[in-house]
Amino acid sequence: MPGSNAQGDLLSRLKQKNFTAAVLGLGYVGLPLAVEYAGAGVSVIGIDTDGTKIRMIRAGKSYIGDIPSETIREAVAAGRLRATSDFSALAEADTVNICVPTPLRKTKDPDLSYIVAAAEQVAKYVHKDMLIVLESTTYPGTTEEVLVPMFEKKGLKVGRDIFLAFSPERVDPGNAQFTTKNIPRVVGGVTPRCTKVATALYTGVLENVHPVSCASVAEMVKLLENTFRSVNIGLVNEIALMSDRMGIDVWEVIDAAKTKPFGFMPFYPGPGIGGHCIPLDPFYLSWKAKQYGFESRFIELAGVINGQMPHYVAGKVVDALNRFKKSVNGAKVLMLGVAYKKNISDVRESPALDILQLLVKKGARLSYCDPYVPVLDEHGIRMKAEKFSAATLRKADCVVLVTDHDRFDRRMIVRESKVVVDTRNALKGCNGKKVIKL
Ligand SMILES: NC(=O)c1ccc[n+]([C@@H]2O[C@H](COP(=O)([O-])OP(=O)(O)OC[C@H]3O[C@@H](n4cnc5c(N)ncnc54)[C@H](O)[C@@H]3O)[C@@H](O)[C@H]2O)c1
């Protein structure tokens, strides 16, 4: 039973996988984790405020591309995965993973409201010997400054009565090689005992756990990783813009540069960055750094350069139409792909949304194909996907390839389109006059 020592203390029960886990937030991060717990034989309660997700899980249906419905069905049928919107189920839990969104406010300041709302629920049901791990990406200091007081107010001392840690989720949706199970896990507790208990939690379920000295280090690890990506993408986008001006093919440059066996790692230019991580996370860090009087120039600069890419792509579409003496105003533009990256359905912060809006503002008549996104309903844009076909391609005055889903037939795109702006080098090798590369 939770809170009792009837079956030994929490640490030994974690080692024996004899505990009940709760996962708060069943999205791209939480659902795969809940499924790993169930797969390891742990009884898991999935809690989400979104009733549709709860109903789907109960019906054995997946809404995350990487998780087959079969896996959910089996876990639910075996009684290992229970989904609910009722937070009182937390009273039964020995451990809680908080996997809720961490967006930015319009001012680019961190919005911790989801973390706070989730933690308030946990605080209602917190009990002795409970382990709480925050997985949502956030600025260094969140766990200690925001969460510790919320639980200690309940009269429970962190590190003695309850355990609290931060462990950054690194899942890469659509990546079949690296999943929640085999991506190494970094864990940092508020106290050394918290680190030890949280390490034991993951060790039983995931393949590789890397403890660090404290929660702030673990929080900073995630922000270093995502800032590294944002800055390197910003750099390569700048090189792409420069190369375009100089008449040099940046894709050929990168292909050649990556033959260097050391000291170089290829990053690729594109229409802009998207998803719930790379466009947002670095600003959590720069916001926190400002409190220390520190200005993080790389982060701001990468944000500016990456943010310009949709404008650059819209300009390329205008240039492409210009070749045919056509004005963008009134032109039929077909966008291929609206998800922020290939082979997934996530459109959060997708650069496609910006490009679409920029072109509509110029008077273009937009339509799109995306096998993963049948309906686009974001930021006031509501559109239905067109069928990807030769006829659809032929109808457009200009095609702009924004997401290089494998399901797009490259040959058909080149054959049937009047002109294509290719933002991903997906049509590599088709260097006909029809293809305008980024
Ligand atoms: N998506 C990724 O690839 C990824 C990778 C690593 C880390 N992260 C981080 O993980 C966190 C979650 O991201 P995500 O992509 O899974 O988000 P998501 O939007 O897919 O899922 C979050 C879920 O939390 C639910 N929720 C919101 N408030 C809640 C509450 N108070 N109680 C219970 N459930 C609540 C939402 O309904 C939603 O289902 C973010 O901090 C993100 O930065 C995301």
Q: Is 277 a catalytic residue?
A: yes
Query: Is the CB of 283 inside a 6 Å radius of any atom of ligand 1?
Result: no
Query: Is the CB of 173 inside a 6 Å radius of any atom of ligand 1?
Result: yes
Q: What atom of ligand 1 comes closest to residue 168's alpha carbon?
A: 7
What span, in angstroms and rounded, lies between the C-alpha atoms of 297 and 307?
15
Query: Is the CB of 47 inside a 6 Å radius of any atom of ligand 1?
Result: yes
Dihedral sign (CA 232, 237, 238, 244): positive
Query: Is the CB of 102 inside a 6 Å radius of any atom of ligand 1?
Result: yes
SS3 content of the chain, % helix, strand, coil (to 5): 40, 15, 45
Q: For residue 102, how far is its CA from the centre of ligand 1 (angstroms)? A: 7
Query: Is the CB of 167 inside a 6 Å radius of any atom of ligand 1?
Result: no
Which pTM does this prediction carry? 0.93
Query: Is the CB of 338 inside a 6 Å radius of any atom of ligand 1?
Result: no
Catalytic residue among 99, 194, 214, 277: 277
> Given ligand 1 and candidates 28, 50, 223, which is best to mutate, with the most ligand atoms within 8 Å of its CB?
28
Q: Note down pLDDT in tens along the chain; length 438 residues.
A: 454 443 348 999 999 999 999 999 999 999 999 999 999 999 999 999 999 999 999 999 999 989 999 999 999 999 999 999 999 999 999 999 999 999 999 888 999 999 999 999 999 999 999 999 999 999 999 999 999 999 999 999 999 999 999 999 999 988 999 999 999 999 999 999 999 999 999 998 999 999 999 999 999 999 999 999 999 999 999 999 999 999 999 999 999 999 999 999 999 999 999 998 999 999 999 999 999 999 999 999 999 999 999 999 999 999 999 999 999 999 999 999 999 999 999 999 999 999 999 999 999 999 999 999 999 998 888 999 999 999 999 999 999 999 999 999 999 999 999 999 999 999 998 867 899 998
What span, in angstroms and rounded, lies between the C-alpha atoms of 315 and 362?
11
First to last CA, the chain: 59
> Both tokens of residue 321?
């139409």
Close Cβ partners of 303 (under 8 Å, ≥ 6 residues apart): 230, 234, 279, 282, 283
Q: What atom of ligand 1 comes closest to residue 24's alpha carbon?
A: 33
Q: For residue 328, how far is its CA from the centre of ligand 1 (angstroms)? A: 38
